[in-house]
Chains A and B, each alone.
Chain A
Amino acid sequence: MPNIFVSLPTLAAIGVGIVIAFFYLRYMWLVLQRVSKTLDDPDDGKSDGFAHSFIGAIIAVIASSLAIIAYGFAPQFLYVGIALALASPIAVAYTFRRELDD
Chain B
Amino acid sequence: MNEVQLAANEALKPELGIASEVVLGLLLLALVYYVKVKLVRNTKDFVIANRKIGFGFGVAGLISIWTWAMAVMMSAAQTYSFGLSGLFWFTVPNGLAVIAAIPFVRKIRTLMPDGYTIPEFVKVRFDGNPVAGGVVVLGALFGSLIEVIINIKGTSLVISNVFGADPKLAAIIGLLVVLIYSILGGLWASVTTSALSTLLHTVPSAIILVAALHYAGGVNSVWHSVAAQGNDLLSVARPDAATGFGITLALGLLTATIAGQEFWQVAWALKKKDVSRSFFWAGAWFYPIPICLGLLGLIGLALHVNVNTQLGGDAAAVGPYLISHLGLPTWLIILYVIVILSACYSVIDSAFTATSSVFVVDIIKPLFPNISEKQLFFWAKIPMFFTAIIAAGVVLSGVDFVTIVLTSYAIRTAILIPLILALFWSRTTGWGFVGGTVLAIAIGMPIRSAAGELWGSLSILAISAVVPIIFGSVRNFQFDFERLRKIKDATVSSEAQPLPAD
Contact = CB atoms under 8 A, between A and B. Distances in A.
A65 B96 CA distance: 11
B35 to A, nearest CB: 7
Nearest to B223: A75
Nearest to A91: B285
Contacts of A65: 88, 92, 236
Q: How large is the interface on A (under 10, 10 to 19, 20 to 34, 35 or more residues)?
A: 35 or more
B120 to A, nearest CB: 20
Contacts of A56: 280, 284
Interface residues of B, number: 83
A4 B198 CA distance: 25
Contacts of A75: 218-220, 222-224
Contact of B203 (A21, A36, A67): A21
Contacts of A32: 34-35, 38, 192
Contact of A72 (B84, B272, B288): B84
B294 A98 contact: no
A47 B272 CA distance: 7
B206 A50 contact: no
A88 to B, nearest CB: 4
B202 interface: yes
A11 B102 CA distance: 39
B108 to A, nearest CB: 12
B104 interface: no
Contacts of A50: 102-103, 106, 276
Interface in B251-295: 271-281, 283-289, 291-292, 294-295
A98 B199 CA distance: 18
Given A50-B106, A69-B84, A92-B56, A64 B92 contact: yes
Given A43-B272, A71-B298, A81-B294, A61 B92 contact: yes
Contacts of B272: 43, 46-48
Interface stretch (B47-55, B423-431, B459-467): B47-55
Contacts of B196: 28
Given A64-B91, A64-B287, A75-B222, A85 B205 contact: yes
Contacts of A21: 199, 203
Interface string A53-74: 1101100110111011101101
Given A44-B271, A48-B109, A89-B198, 4 more contacts: A9-B214, A43-B271, A54-B102, A81-B294
8 contacts: A10-B207, A35-B52, A48-B274, A57-B283, A64-B291, A75-B218, A76-B219, A85-B292
